[in-house]
Structure 1
Amino acid sequence: MKKRELNSLRKKLKVTGNHVVFSLVFLVLGYIIAFSYHLTQSDAEKAAITGKQWERDIELRNQLVGLEEKNRALQKEVYEKQERVREIEKEMSQEAQVYFNLAEDAEKYRMYLGKVKVKGQGVEVTLSDGDYNPNEVNVNNYIVHEHHVFKVINELYISGAQAIAINGQRLSHNSYILCNGPVIEIDGYQHPAPFVISAIGDTDVLASALNLTGGVKDSLVNENIQFTLEKKAEIMMEPLLGS
């Protein structure tokens, strides 16, 4: 009886021991499987996150490249517009110079035409009849004629005179001078001797031209005309009235 009970107890202990071993094996196996699954999930999540970050980095890099290209295009456009602005400024500067020159020319022509009042340095030439000579039969040989006045006027214009007046009457581009007995007629107005010819221009140049040896002064003096020349720091001439 005791032997039978002992065998039965051995069988029970054997079965119980096998159960414990199997339980331990399954427990370890389950832990390994769970750990492996957790590790796999973690790696998958990391891989997923890394992939998203990569895609995000690529997207940001592409946006940056696009912005840089757009910035370069805008800079190029700015440079082109700045160059155009410089060209326009240069053109305007040239146009301003052209307009300035035109304004100067217009003022010069107005002055030559006698349309504006002028003032400047110049010379005054006085032509007077020669002293009476009882031995001279022809009185015309010692009085001032229009050709004497023309000699002075022509020399003054050739020497750069900008405006000329005779006895205060300003000459225009189409003025005429006639001799009418003891007087000369300028554009219909009569003037007696002496004749004061005023000219605005470079004082030294005008005076030198008139005083040249064998020039206008010597020619007039040889024809018994009294010739005096005076330099003026300022001469003023009023504009011509009428047509």
Structure 2
Amino acid sequence: MRGKTVIFSIVMLVLGFLISFSYQYTKQHQADVIRTEQWKKEYSLKSQLTTQEKANQKLEKELYSLQSKVQATESNLKNEKEQYFNVLEDVEKYRMFTGEIGAKGKGVKVSLEDASYIPSGQNVNNYIVHESHIFHVINELFISGASAVSINGQRITHQSYIHCNGPVVTVDGVQHPAPFVISAIGDPAVLIPALNIAGGVVDQLTSDHISMTIEKTDIRMNPLLRNKD
């Protein structure tokens, strides 16, 4: 009986050991499985993160490339816009020079009159305004930057024909009596000194006995009148 008890005790001890070992093994195995799964999950996440970072870097390069193209396009458009407005500005200036459009702005008025006194026995032609005097004033105004010029309200251009016929002056076929008022749109601070420069227009016309006055004023001009067929 006692032998059976000892054997039973040994069997129970061995069984307990096996159960304990199996439990510990199972627990350790499950822990290893969990760690393996966690490692696999972490590795997968790290791989996905690395892949995403590479994709982000590629997208950043593409974005930078597109931004560079956009900036280049904007710069080109800006240059084209500036060139376009420069062309428009040049066209407007040309149309103003040719008298095709009306004009207004600050400028000067230069009035030319025949001499108020003619000494006895002197040639009258030496004391009246001639086309050369008018040309002299107009040329100086254009050279000094005038954008538009008129005589007695009639617009003129660089190609206008001016002819003196006694007391009247004919401008492109239209006769004008004295006084001759030459209006010019431009910077008065430039035009007036240019006319008054020593040995310039004022001095030369004064020596020719021509009465000349210069006035700074706002000016408005109509378009050049053209003959219609």
- Shorter chain as denominator, the TM-score bin is 0.7 to 0.9
C-alpha distance 212-18 of structure 1, shift in aligned 2 (>3 A) = closer
In structure 1, give the amino acid aligned to 2:223.
Answer: P
Are positions 1:221 and 2:206 aligned together? Answer: yes
Are positions 1:97 and 2:82 aligned together? Answer: yes
Query: Structure 2, unaligned stretches of length 5 or more?
Result: none
In structure 1, give the amino acid aligned to 2:10.
Answer: V
Instruction: Please give the alpha-carbon distance, in whole angstroms, between the structure 2 residues aligned to 1:86 and 1:213.
Output: 54
C-alpha distance 43-214 of structure 1, shift in aligned 2 (>3 A) = closer
The answer as to whether partners of 2:112 and 2:213 remain within 8 angstroms in 1 is no
Please point out which of 152, 156, 180 is paired with 2:165: 180
C-alpha distance 213-35 of structure 1, shift in aligned 2 (>3 A) = closer
C-alpha distance 228-17 of structure 1, shift in aligned 2 (>3 A) = same
Matches within 5 A, 1:91-170: 91-130=76-115, 131-136=117-122, 138-170=123-155
The answer as to whether partners of 1:165 and 1:197 remain within 8 angstroms in 2 is yes
The answer as to whether partners of 1:122 and 1:200 remain within 8 angstroms in 2 is yes
Instruction: Please give the alpha-carbon distance, in whole angstroms, between the structure 1 residues aligned to 2:168 and 2:212.
Output: 19
C-alpha distance 62-170 of structure 1, shift in aligned 2 (>3 A) = same
Please point out which of 232, 237, 242 is paired with 2:216: 232
For the aligned residue pairs, the C-alpha RMSD in angstroms reads 2.2
Instruction: Please give the alpha-carbon distance, in whole angstroms, between the structure 2 residues aligned to 1:148 and 1:30.
Output: 138
Q: CA deviation at 1:62?
A: 0.9
Rg comparison, structure with higher value = 1
Matches within 5 A, 1:14-163: 16-130=1-115, 131-136=117-122, 138-163=123-148
C-alpha distance 45-221 of structure 1, shift in aligned 2 (>3 A) = closer
The answer as to whether partners of 1:203 and 1:231 remain within 8 angstroms in 2 is no
Instruction: Please give the alpha-carbon distance, in whole angstroms, between the structure 2 residues aligned to 1:54 and 1:221.
Output: 107
Instruction: Please give the alpha-carbon distance, in whole angstroms, between the structure 1 residues aligned to 2:83 and 2:105.
Output: 25
Q: CA deviation at 1:196?
A: 1.5
**Pairs aligned (count):** 226
C-alpha distance 54-133 of structure 1, shift in aligned 2 (>3 A) = same
Instruction: Please give the alpha-carbon distance, in whole angstroms, between the structure 1 residues aligned to 2:5 and 2:192.
Output: 144
Query: Structure 1, unaligned stretches of length 5 or more?
Result: 1-15
Instruction: Please give the alpha-carbon distance, in whole angstroms, between the structure 1 residues aligned to 2:36 and 2:207.
Output: 117
Instruction: Please give the alpha-carbon distance, in whole angstroms, between the structure 1 residues aligned to 2:53 and 2:190.
Output: 70
User: Quick one: percent identity of the two aligned structures?
Assistant: 45
The answer as to whether partners of 1:120 and 1:200 remain within 8 angstroms in 2 is yes
**Residue 241 of structure 1 corresponds to which residue in structure 2?**
225
What TM-score does the superposition give when structure 1 sets the normalisation length?
Answer: 0.81
The answer as to whether partners of 1:115 and 1:239 remain within 8 angstroms in 2 is yes
C-alpha distance 213-24 of structure 1, shift in aligned 2 (>3 A) = closer
Q: For 1:157, what is the secondary structure of its paired residue?
A: helix
Instruction: Please give the alpha-carbon distance, in whole angstroms, between the structure 1 residues aligned to 2:61 and 2:183.
Output: 64
The answer as to whether partners of 1:123 and 1:229 remain within 8 angstroms in 2 is no
What TM-score does the superposition give when structure 2 sets the normalisation length?
Answer: 0.86
Q: CA deviation at 1:238?
A: 0.8
C-alpha distance 17-176 of structure 1, shift in aligned 2 (>3 A) = same
Q: For 2:107, what is the secondary structure of its paired residue?
A: strand
Q: For 2:181, what is the secondary structure of its paired residue?
A: strand
